[in-house]
C-alpha cells in the first residue's frame, strides 16, 4: 500500500492521535477527525469543516479516506435487499449487502476477498481466495451503508460478518473492526447487535470465547455427519464435528451466551428426518439456536434447496425435541445476495 493508499480507518484512536501530534496539530484534532469518520460518516477530507485547510491538505497527502469504489449496485424486486460490488485500492473486489426489515437495517459485510476454504455450495468458495481485508476495509463497508441510510434518516442497527470470506482466518483484523464499530465514542453499535459466522475454525472459536465479548457467534454446521460435512466443507477434515461442537461448548461455558447453528438444507443431501434426529442427538442440551436455510442457488453447485414441506418436517423434529429453531426468511436470492451467493466473479466486473 503506497503512502496515498494508507487507509485512515486502519488507525486506532491512539494511533490517529499520535499522527495528529506528529503533524504539529493539537491533540483535540484527533477527536474531530474520529467524530467526522465514525459518527458523521464523512468520506471526503474536504467535508470535515471543523479542520483547518492546511490539516485537510496534510491528511489528503497521507491518507485514503474513501477505500471503496462502487462498481455496481443491484436492488431486489421488493426493494428490501441491496447488494453492492466494491473495488478496493488494488482492484480486489468484494460484495456487501444491506437487508431492510421492519425493525432492523442489517449490513452483511465481507472479511476477505474470496475464500480459501472451498465449501462446495458457496459461491465465494468457488471463486477462490484473493486476500484478507484490513480492519479499515471491513469497517468502511458499514460506514458506506450508514451514510446511505442517514440520507433516509435511518441507521444501521445490526452487522453480520457473514459476507465473503472466513472471518476467523482473518481474526485480528475482524476483531479490530468489531472494536471500532463498537466504540461508544465512534460508531457506537452495541456488541449484541453484531454477529460473526465461522465454518468452525476451532482455535479461533476458543480465542473468541476467551475475549468474553457480547458479540454473537454463529457456526455454519450444515450436517453432523463427518463424512458428508468433509465433502461439503473440506475444513471438516481438519476440524471435525466433534471438535467444533466441543469448542462451542467451551464458548458457552466461558460466555454463558448461546451459539447459533446455521444449517443450509440441501434437497436429498442433508435434509432427511434421520439428519434432523442426528442433529438433535449432537446438540440437545446446548445453549443454542438453529437457523434453517433452504440452500440458495449458485452456479458451481447443481443441487437445489430443500422444498418447503420437507423444511417443515425437519423443523418439526427439532421443535419436538426442544431445540429452538427458525426457518430464515430468504432475502435477495434473485440478485445473488443470499447466504452463500456472494461472489465477485472476475476483474471484468470492473469494466
Return the closest-CA partner of residue 112 out of 125, 94, 139, 86: 94
Give the confidence band of 3 by pLDDT, cuts at 50, 70, 90.
very low
Same domain for 204 and 312?
A: yes
Q: Contact 107/98 with Cβ under 8 angstroms?
A: yes
Tally: H helices and E strands in the chain: 11, 14
Task: Give the mean model confidence (pLDDT) for residues 84-97.
Answer: 93
Same domain for 46 and 88?
A: no
Domain span including residue 255: 69-350
Phi/psi-derived region of residue 156, left when phi > 0, alpha when psi is between -120 and 50, beta in every other case:
beta
Return the closest-CA partner of residue 56 out of 47, 67, 65, 45: 45
Is 0.85 surpassed by the pTM of this model? yes
Q: How far apart are CA 71 and CA 58, in angstroms?
A: 28
CATH assignment at residue 53: 1.10.150.530
- Which of 23, 38, 64 lies at the terminal end of a domain, its last residue? 64
Q: How far apart are CA 234 and CA 46, in angstroms?
A: 48
344 pLDDT exceeds 80?
no
C-alpha cell at 329: 426468511
Greater confidence, 76 or 194? 194
3-state secondary structure of 33: helix
Q: How far is CA 55 from CA 4, 26, 48, 234, 318, in A?
A: 15, 11, 10, 50, 60
Same domain for 88 and 153?
A: yes
Same domain for 16 and 139?
A: no
Give the confidence band of 125 by pLDDT, cuts at 50, 70, 90.
low
Same domain for 320 and 277?
A: yes
Active site residues: 95, 339
Same domain for 309 and 215?
A: yes
Give the confidence band of 5 by pLDDT, cuts at 50, 70, 90.
low
Same domain for 32 and 148?
A: no
Q: Contact 300/328 with Cβ under 8 angstroms?
A: no
Same domain for 17 and 89?
A: no
Number of domains the chain contains: 2
Same domain for 193 and 260?
A: yes
pLDDT in tens, 187-210: 999 999 999 999 999 999 999 999
Least confident of 110-114, 125-129, 296-300: 296-300
Give the mean pLDDT of the chain: 90
Q: How far apart are CA 122 and CA 235, in angstroms?
A: 13
pLDDT in tens, 314-326: 999 999 999 999 9
% of the chain at pLDDT higher than 90? 81
Amino acid at each position: 500500500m503506497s503512502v496515498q493508499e494508507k487507509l485512515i480507518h486502519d488507525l486506532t484512536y491512539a494511533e490517529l492521535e499520535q499522527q495528529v501530534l506528529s503533524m504539529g496539530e493539537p491533540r483535540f484534532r484527533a477527536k474531530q477527525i474520529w467524530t467526522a469518520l465514525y459518527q458523521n460518516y464523512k468520506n471526503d477530507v474536504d467535508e470535515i469543516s471543523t479542520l483547518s485547510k492546511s490539516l485537510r491538505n496534510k491528511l489528503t497527502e497521507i491518507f485514503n479516506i474513501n477505500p471503496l469504489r462502487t462498481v455496481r449496485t443491484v436492488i431486489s424486486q421488493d426493494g428490501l435487499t441491496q447488494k453492492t460490488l466494491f473495488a478496493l485500492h488494488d482492484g480486489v473486489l468484494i460484495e456487501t449487502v444491506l437487508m431492510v426489515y421492519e425493525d432492523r437495517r442489517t449490513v452483511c459485510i465481507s472479511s476477505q476477498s474470496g475464500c480459501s476454504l472451498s465449501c462446495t455450495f458457496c459461491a465465494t468458495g468457488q471463486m477462490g481466495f484473493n486476500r484478507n481485508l484490513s480492519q479499515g476495509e471491513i469497517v468502511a463497508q458499514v460506514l458506506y451503508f450508514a451514510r446511505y441510510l442517514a440520507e433516509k434518516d435511518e441507521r444501521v442497527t445490526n452487522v453480520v460478518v457473514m459476507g465473503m470470506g472466513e472471518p476467523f482466518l482473518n481474526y485480528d483484523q475482524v476483531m479490530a473492526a468489531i472494536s471500532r464499530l463498537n466504540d461508544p465514542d465512534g460508531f457506537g453499535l452495541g456488541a449484541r447487535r453484531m454477529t460473526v459466522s465461522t465454518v468452525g475454525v476451532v482455535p479461533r472459536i476458543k480465542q473468541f470465547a476467551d475475549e468474553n465479548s457480547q458479540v454473537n457467534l454463529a457456526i455454519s454446521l450444515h450436517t453432523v455427519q463427518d463424512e458428508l460435512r468433509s465433502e461439503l466443507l473440506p475444513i471438516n477434515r481438519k476440524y471435525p464435528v466433534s471438535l467444533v461442537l466441543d469448542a462451542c461448548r467451551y464458548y458457552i461455558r466461558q460466555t454463558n451466551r448461546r451459539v447459533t447453528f446455521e444449517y443450509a438444507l440441501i434437497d436429498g443431501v442433508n435434509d432427511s428426518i434421520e439428519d434432523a434426529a442426528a442433529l438433535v442427538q449432537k446438540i440437545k442440551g446446548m445453549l443454542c439456536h438453529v437457523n434453517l436455510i433452504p440452500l440458495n442457488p449458485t452456479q458451481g453447485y447443481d443441487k437445489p434447496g430443500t422444498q418447503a414441506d420437507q423444511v417443515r418436517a425437519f423443523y418439526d423434529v427439532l421443535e419436538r425435541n426442544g431445540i429452538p429453531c427458525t426457518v430464515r426468511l430468504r432475502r435477495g436470492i434473485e440478485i445473488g445476495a443470499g447466504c452463500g451467493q456472494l461472489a465477485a466473479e472476475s476483474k471484468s466486473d470492473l469494466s
